[in-house]
Structure 1
Amino acid sequence: MAQTNTTAFVSSLHVYPVKALHGLDYQSLTLHTWGAEHDRRWLVTEPDGTFLTQRALPAMACLHATPVPQGLRLERTGTQACTVPYPAPNTPTHAVRVWKDTIQAQDAGEDAAQWLSTQLGRPCHLVYMASPEHARLRAIAQTPVPVSFADGYPLLLATTASLADLNQRLEHPVPMARFRPNIVIANNQPWAEDTWRVLKIGTALLRIVAPCSRCTVTTTDQETGLIPNRKEPLATLAQFHRTPKGIMFAQNTLVEQTGTIQIGDEVEILETGPSNLRI
């Protein structure tokens, strides 16, 4: 079923060059089958290769990572920055883990490891995914889909109307940054995205495949790394937008046709269906 009349448009775009570190705002994004350009190509791990996130280390939100021509620049207010070059093409790979997936990645070197270990107060390493189109293939909707170091899908899409509805129920409203989306759509119908299936934005074609189950990262202030309230917004969200698979906010999304999208682009909803929020 197609929905041709829509007032939805792209209101903001975001990437997270290093998984779990602070996000960046973009005016436009190039979308690949594995995700947005520059998004989650780098990963912080424990010495044994296990991935680290804000779930265990909320202070990761205070670390900024910016792509630069030679690689990556790591910064934190009040400390000396660290420039990390791309690993040389012949740098050996080793196994790292993101949830149940084992992925081959290149180590980014001792300088990056030392800088991150100092900032986070525990030994850790930085690794790089050189070929995201091949490094990690996940079975999604019975199809092998390349994915970066993101939790499980190439993109995450959220809407302003749903956040506004949630915030009306909260004593202290939260910003969209708590949910770490890639694409934020401005619209006027809360939770409409539960029924969206195929979207055309700019020159890209996107398919929504599943709601996103949320975790304690949503309780972390993405500017300070502090947790103002360990229960919210999850406790409130759980009252009305929960399934047996978790507390849901935003939609996991595939790139069916690669292309470029930018802030202000109209969102054409080509296909809808029954709500994917099966309570």
Structure 2
Amino acid sequence: MVEAVQVGVVKELHLYPVKSMGGQAVDDLFLNWHGCDGDRKYAFVIDGNSSEFPWLTARQAAQMLHYRPQFVEPDKRATSAIAIKTPEGSELALESAALMQSLAAHYAHKFHLIHLGIGAFDDFPVSVISTATLDGLSAKVGFPVQSDRFRPNIVVETNEAIDAIEDQWVSHALRFGSAADAARIAVVMRDPRCVMVNLDRDTLKQTPELLREIAQRRDNCTGVFGSVLQTGSIKVGDPVFLS
């Protein structure tokens, strides 16, 4: 058996109940076989789009990032209904006509909501990024790069300040917690990036220098994707072990 080495601690945890809407920082999450409970289970689909990427996202309507999903039953994320806080401050049911009307003000074509049992993931169900990488990017581009630009589920504060350290984790496993049966993922691949990372989440202004840095010096990848090896709870502050 390969000996596990602690590489850091869980710094942040995030869920994204609706694809391309705002994320929700949480203190804990449950990792099931299909990803994190309550993560990306809803998405808006552009009518008539039969491509592999039919989703309505912030590429088409940047304002989506300012719609904030909340779990109506926070203790039952896997089955909870979702309420959406709009940029104007209203709270609307996810499946309401009022929300569709609000979103339609930002995107002219027809679209509809779908509910996916296993989540609307682009590649793999779990995404991880390190504080070392965020710090490295910030130093390169000259402004603070926050984790929300990359929409990770798990942010690891690493013991070593090595930029892109998570690239070294590919083809290995990460365990979150000290117990032998703690939640665990296989780190499958680096995470390819697109223009979405350029959007400042507060101002919605474009910062193209960020994707330029990622494309030119990082093979267009930042962070890593994982698949689930062992289900279980993950909490902020949990030790993270590499094996």
- TMscore range, shorter length: 0.7 to 0.9
The CA distance in 1 between the partners of 2:39 and 2:199, in whole Å, is: 20
Equivalent residue number for residue 135 of structure 1 = none
Structure 2 residue matching 1:158: 3-state secondary structure: strand
* 2:212 aligned partner: 235
Note the alpha carbon deviations across 1:141-171, whole angstroms, 9 max, x for none.
xxxxxxx102121011000001111211112
What are the equivalent positions in structure 2 for 1:135-154 lying under 5 Å apart?
A: 148-154=119-125
Partner of 2:61: 57
The reply to whether residue 259 of structure 1 matches residue 232 of structure 2 is: yes
Q: Which moved more, 1:207-216 or 1:44-53?
A: 44-53
Contact 2:11 2:156 (C-alpha < 8 Å) held by counterparts = yes
Q: 1:218 aligns with which of 172, 197, 203?
A: 197
Say which of 91, 112, 115 aligns to 1:128: 115
Alignment of 1:159-198 (within 5 A): 159-187=130-158, 188=160, 189-196=162-169, 197-198=172-173
Q: Over the residues paired in the alignment, what is the CA RMSD in angstroms? A: 2.0
* Conserved? CA contact 2:7–2:242, under 8 Å: no
Unaligned 5+ runs, structure 2: 74-79
1:78 aligns with 2:88: yes
What is the Cα deviation at residue 182 of structure 1?
0.5
The answer as to whether partners of 1:82 and 1:115 remain within 8 angstroms in 2 is no
| Alignment check: 8 A CA contact 2:21 2:66 kept | yes
Deviation string for 1:80-135 (max 9, x for gaps)? 32123xxxxxxxxxxxxxxxxxxxxxxx4644433432354543222212x32xxx
| 1:3–1:179 distance in 2 versus 1, CA, 3 Å | farther
Q: Where does residue 8 of structure 1 map in the other structure?
A: 8
Contact 1:112–1:126 (CA<8 Å) still a contact in 2?
no
On the 8 A contact 1:16/1:23 being kept in 2, the answer is yes
User: Is the CA contact (8 Å cut-off) linking 1:42 and 1:128 kept in structure 2?
Assistant: yes
Residue 175 of structure 2 is aligned to residue 200 of structure 1 = yes
State the secondary structure of the residue aligned to 1:20.
coil
Verify the 8 A CA contact 1:59 1:120 in the aligned structure 2: no
In the alignment, is the contact (CA less than 8 A) between 1:158 and 1:249 conserved in 2? yes
The number of aligned residues is 225
| Pairing 1:118–2:108 present | no
Give ranges in structure 1 of 5+ residues lacking alignment: 85-107, 133-147, 271-279
Matched position secondary structure for 2:6? coil
SS at match of 1:238: helix
Q: Percent identity?
A: 28
Residue aligned with 1:8, SS = strand
Q: How far 1:232 sits from its partner (Å)?
A: 2.1
For the Cα contact (< 8 Å) 1:18–1:40, is it kept in 2? yes
Counterpart contact for 1:18–1:41, Cα < 8 Å:
yes
Q: Is the 8 A contact 2:134 2:147 kept in 1?
A: yes
Q: Which amino acid aligns with 1:64?
A: R
Matched to 1:260, the amino acid is S
CA contact (8 A) 2:64 2:103 kept: no
Q: Is the 8 A contact 1:116 1:125 kept in 2?
A: no
Deviations 1:156-203 (A, max 9, x none): 100000111121111223211111111000012322211211011132
Deviation string 1:5-52 (CA, Å, 9 cap, x unpaired) is 434010000011000000000100100111111100000122336311
